[in-house]
Amino acid sequence: MRTISMQRNILLFSFLFLPVLLLLMFVLYPLFELIRLSFTDWNGMDAKQVYIGFDNYIKMFTDSSDVWLSLRNNGFYFIFHFLMIPLELAIAVVLDSKIRASKFFKTIVFMPYIINGVAISYMFAFFYSPINGGLNGILEVLGLESLIQNWLTNESIVNLSLVFVSIWRFSGFHVILFLAGLQAIPQDQFEAAKIDGASSTQNFWYIIVPGVKKVLEVLLFLNVVGALQVFDIPYIMTQGGPGHASSTFTLYTLETAFKFNNFGMASAMGITMLVLIIVLNSVQKRLFNLKGVDEE
């Protein structure tokens, strides 16, 4: 019996050794090293690293208005994606119904998500071009010359232009998530509601919305993480410009590290992003749990 138990332990250790080793090497060690560097003034090249305590964290929010501007821009992405959730759910409901060519439309909706983000950014950069871009050309054909803009160089609208690209890219993925949630709802609930004479609106509010609650929770978490980590779209399309008008927190962090050679500050910004994600996710879970308690 002891031999069998030992063999089982050896087998478990053999299966777990490599994953645990990879976790230590590529997740935990870099995390602790990032925390350590955030308390230094390391420039990325010198062997000497002077520990300066919490100076990087203090300077981040007191000496740099660009940090707050970047976080505000990140907020744009979260807010507009959040406002798109009802429309995404409505599209999922339509696609889940018995409409003709539903599989074709599901593929079309999901297609932008599987396209490379760099390709999408270059495509929309050309679309927004003030010289021969498609958007201004469409407005001109429609007789709306007064709406023609320099979409990526106007500080007042550049973030809206970039947010539209993000919505175009990710909304289809959100629709597919809602579709998965809708298909998990037991059909007998709809049949019982039909017998009771429930309307389509009542089905939506009392069956569909509670049925996709878990999907909505996941989607909000993805929105928080995605909004804080937006990088490729503003980097490729505007490089954070004009000035820092469209810079995001991730983009500004990388600029701090590789353009200004301040790896200590960049490490502090990386840890701050991690803390923000954890805090916002905790608040979101608490809100969902409180709502669940109230419903019970």
Which CATH number does the domain housing residue 139 bear? 1.10.3720.10
- pLDDT-derived band at 2 (thresholds 50, 70, 90) equals low
- pTM greater than 0.85 (yes/no): yes
Query: CA end-to-end span of the chain, whole Å?
Result: 49
- pLDDT-derived band at 274 (thresholds 50, 70, 90) equals very high
DSSP-assigned states of every residue in the chain: -HHHHHHHHHHHHHHHHHHHHHHIIIIIHHHHHHHHHTTB---SS-S---B-TTHHHHHHHHT-HHHHHHHHHHHHHHHHHHHHHHHHHHHHHHHHSS-TTHHHHHHHHHHHHHS-HHHHHHHHHHHT-TTT-HHHHHHHHTT-GGG---TTT-TTTHHHHHHHHHHHHHHHHHHHHHHHHHHTS-HHHHHHHHHTT--HHHHIIIIIHHHTHHHHHHHHHHHHHHHHT--HHHHHHTTT-STTTT--HHHHHHHHHHTS--HHHHHHHHHHHHHHHHHHHHHHHHHHHHHHHHH-
Residue 10 inside a domain? The answer is no
Residue 275 CB-density burial (10 A; 0-12 exposed, 13-18 middle, 19+ buried): exposed
pLDDT exceeds cutoff 90 at 102: no
Tens digits of per-residue pLDDT, 216-253? 989 999 999 999 889 999 999 999 988 889 999 999 99
Distance CA(227)–CA(163), nearest Å, equals 10
Average pLDDT score over the chain: 88
- pLDDT-derived band at 262 (thresholds 50, 70, 90) equals very high
Tens digits of per-residue pLDDT, 170-197? 999 999 999 999 888 888 888 888 888 8
The pLDDT value recorded for residue 296 is 45
Tens digits of per-residue pLDDT, 47-95? 888 999 999 999 988 876 788 999 999 999 999 999 999 999 999 988 8
The pLDDT value recorded for residue 118 is 92
pLDDT exceeds cutoff 80 at 7: no
> In angstroms, what CA-CA distances link 58 with 55, 125, 155, 271, 282?
5, 36, 28, 13, 24
Over range 117-142, report the average pLDDT: 91
Residue 25 inside a domain? The answer is no
Q: Percent of the chain scored above 70 by pLDDT?
A: 97
Residue 1 inside a domain? The answer is no
pLDDT exceeds cutoff 70 at 19: yes
The pLDDT value recorded for residue 236 is 94
Residue 223 CB-density burial (10 A; 0-12 exposed, 13-18 middle, 19+ buried): buried
Over range 206-217, report the average pLDDT: 88
Q: Percent of the chain scored above 90 by pLDDT?
A: 50
Over range 29-42, report the average pLDDT: 93
Residue 247 inside a domain? The answer is yes
Residue 88 CB-density burial (10 A; 0-12 exposed, 13-18 middle, 19+ buried): buried
pLDDT exceeds cutoff 70 at 292: no
Residue 180 inside a domain? The answer is yes
Number of domains within the chain:
1
The pLDDT value recorded for residue 88 is 93
Residue 20 inside a domain? The answer is no
The pLDDT value recorded for residue 65 is 78
Residue 30 inside a domain? The answer is no
Residue 258 inside a domain? The answer is yes
> Based on C-alpha coordinates, what's the Rg of the chain?
24
Distance CA(136)–CA(142), nearest Å, equals 10
Domain range for residue 276?
Answer: 40-295
